[in-house]
Structure 1
Amino acid sequence: MQQFEVSMDNELAFLQYRFYKDDIALMHTDVPDTLGGKGIASALAVHALEWAKEHQKKIIVYCPFVASYLKKHPEYDYLVDKNYR
């Protein structure tokens, strides 16, 4: 499994992903409690979505945080692989 990471105050927040066929599957976001409320999970989600857009990858969403982020930001809906909803 691979991940996008943010390191702050000696803590590590991450969004894990893996590649599946031609897609990127967003698996799990974890932000330590000490870093909560700073928008780090949202920043990780945006980074992953922008990475997918830049690399012309569709996304498969398993991560509940990313799923809720997408509901609030429908501008990224076109990235979701409709075969895996």
Structure 2
Amino acid sequence: MTTDKTGSPTAVTQESDRFSISVDGKKAGFTEYIDVGDHGNQRIFPHTEIDEEFGGRGLATILVGEALQATRDAGLRIVAVCSMVANYIEKHPEYHDISDPVTTDVKRILSRT
């Protein structure tokens, strides 16, 4: 079990289009993703959000870390459109080998959603 900076237990769950994080059973935020199989099995992360009331507790770091590990475990590559995801990857070189740049094709995919 992972705890936030206050010691509260957290849980990250994967849904069909996002990973969500809960603290003490209350949903605190999410990171959205889009899986694109025809572009090299990529998982695009366009947006991450943590509710204001949960700010400063390290939840984005926990959420993004678990989402990226699940992406690696699924054999997918990461495209970090979201700045939170990009910053996490910058600080954690263990994900550099499965990270792809944001391309024109990725931007086109996002404009259709």
TM-score, L = length of structure 1 = 0.86
How big is each residue's C-alpha offset from its partner over 1:16-46, in whole Å with a ceiling of 9 and x where there is no partner? 0011221110111100111011111011111
Cα gap change, 1:41 to 1:74, in 2 (>3 Å): same
Give the total of aligned pairs: 85
The aligned residue for residue 47 of structure 1 is: 66
CA distance in 2, matches of 1:6, 1:83: 25
Structure 2 residue aligned with 1:5, among 16, 20, 23?
Answer: 20
Bigger Rg over Cα: 2
RMSD (Å) for aligned C-alpha atoms: 2.0
- Please tell me whether the aligned partners of residues 52 and 79 of structure 1 are also in contact (alpha carbons under 8 angstroms): no
- Please tell me whether the aligned partners of residues 19 and 63 of structure 2 are also in contact (alpha carbons under 8 angstroms): yes
Unaligned runs of 5+ in 1: none
- Structure 1 counterpart of 2:98, which letter? L
Unaligned runs of 5+ in 2: 1-15, 104-113
Aligned-pair identity (%): 30
Higher RCO (CA-CA < 8 Å; seq separation 6+): 1
TM-score, L = length of structure 2 = 0.67
The aligned residue for residue 71 of structure 1 is: 90
- Please tell me whether the aligned partners of residues 80 and 101 of structure 2 are also in contact (alpha carbons under 8 angstroms): no
